[in-house]
Amino acid sequence: MAKSVPMVRDWQLNRLKGRDFIDFADYTPAELEYLLNLAETIKEKQKKGEMYQPLLGKTLGMFFTKASTRTRVSFEVGMFQLGGHALFLSGSDTQIGRGEPISDTARVMSRYVDGIMIRTFGHDDVVELAEHADIPVINALTDLHHPCQVLADILTLKEYKGKLQGLTVAYVGDGNNMANSWIQAAPKFGLNMRVATPTGYECDPAVVEQTKKFAKEYGTELVFTNDPVEAVQGADLVYTDVWASMGQEAEQEERVQKFADYQVNEALCSHAKPDYLFMHCLPAHRGEEVTAEIIDGPHSVIFDEAENRLHVQKAILAATLG
C-alpha cells in the first residue's frame, strides 16, 4: 500500500521560495502536494474572478530555443495574472545563440529579472543555468524532462478521480522527456506507473534507477515492459506522446514503423478500466500515436489538461518567486 503524503505546514513553505524547479528529484512528496494544492486554490480564485497578484513588480525572463504554443502562452499569461511581467527571449535574439557562456548569461540575468523559465534541448544547459543563477530557474521542457506538464497532468487526474493514491498510470510510446518525468513524479504522489516502449526506446537509464528507489521508498508499483497491453491492463489513466519529438524529424519514418504496435486505440484501451482517462501533452498526431476516436472521445480530457498548465505554472511561479 502506498504511503500517504504528509501535508506541508505553513512554516515549511518558505523552503520553496528561491528554489529551482528543474525536475521532481529534489522535491519531497509534501512539497509537491503543496504545489498541487496551491494550483487548485489559484484556479478556484480565477474561476471566481478574484485577484491574486503575489508577483507585483516582478519579471520572468523566458528563454526559448524550442518552438512553443502552450508553454509560452501559459507562462506569459500566468505572470500577467499574478501581477508580474514576462519577457520573451528567443535563441536567435540572445547572446547565448552567439556563443556566450551560459554561466555569464545566468549571472547577468540574475541582476535584471526575478526568475528564469527556459524551454530548450539539452537538460545540462538548464542545470548549468541554475547552478550559476542567483534566482529561481524553471524547466519548461528539455529533452530529458518536462515537469511542468506532468504536474498539470497530475492535477487533472486528481480533479477527475478525486484522489491520487493507488491509481495506475499507463504510459505507451516513446520513453522520452514525458515518460521520464512521469516515472519520476508518480511514486511521490502515490501513483502506480507502467511504461510500455519499443525495444531501444526506453526511458533514460539513470532516471529509471532513480525512480526505482522512489517507488521502493513510497511503496508504489513501477513496471517497464515492451507490451502495451500489459501496461494498460486495469489502468486509470492512459497516456501517450508523439513518436518523434522536436529534433527527431529525420527519424519519423523509422519511428512510425517501430511504434506501429504502440498506437493508443479502442482495442488497446479496452484493457483499461471502464472509466479510464486519456491524456496527451499535445500537439498530437491523430492517426499516429493515437486515433481520433480516442483523443476526441468521451474518455479524453486533453483540453482540461492543457488548461491546467496555466494554473500549475502559476503555482510554481508564486511559490518560487513570491
Asked if 321 contacts 58 with a C-beta cutoff of 8 angstroms, the reply is: yes
Say whether 245 counts as a known binding-site residue: yes
Say whether 149 counts as a known binding-site residue: yes
The residues annotated with a catalytic role in the active site are: 119, 146, 149, 241, 281, 309
Distances (CA, A) of 239 to 24, 46, 49, 294: 19, 28, 32, 11
Say whether 146 counts as a known binding-site residue: yes
Say whether 198 counts as a known binding-site residue: no
Say whether 105 counts as a known binding-site residue: no
| Count of Cβ atoms closer than 10 Å to residue 247 Cβ | 10
Say whether 147 counts as a known binding-site residue: yes
| Count of Cβ atoms closer than 10 Å to residue 286 Cβ | 13
Say whether 71 counts as a known binding-site residue: yes
Say whether 70 counts as a known binding-site residue: yes
Say whether 241 counts as a known binding-site residue: yes
Q: Is the dihedral of CA 245, 177, 131, 75 positive or negative?
A: positive
Say whether 282 counts as a known binding-site residue: yes
Asked if 203 contacts 175 with a C-beta cutoff of 8 angstroms, the reply is: yes
How far from the centroid of its chain's Cα atoms is residue 214's Cα? 18
| Helix (H/G/I), strand (E/B), else coil: 59 | strand
68 vs 53: CA distance, rounded Å: 25
| Helix (H/G/I), strand (E/B), else coil: 221 | coil
Say whether 311 counts as a known binding-site residue: no
Residue 195 neighbours by CB under 8 Å, 6+ apart: 170, 171, 175, 179, 182, 183, 202, 203, 223, 224, 225, 231
Per-residue DSSP letter, 300:
B
Residues forming beta bridges with residue 139, ordered by sequence position? 118
161 vs 63: CA distance, rounded Å: 35
- CA nearest 284: which of 254, 239, 248, 251? 239
Say whether 119 counts as a known binding-site residue: yes
Asked if 167 contacts 203 with a C-beta cutoff of 8 angstroms, the reply is: no
Say whether 269 counts as a known binding-site residue: no
Residue ranges of the annotated binding site for L-ornithine are 177, 241, 245-246
Residue ranges of the annotated binding site are 68-71, 95, 119, 146-149, 177, 241, 245-246, 281-282, 309
Residue ranges of the annotated binding site for carbamoyl phosphate are 68-71, 95, 119, 146-149, 281-282, 309
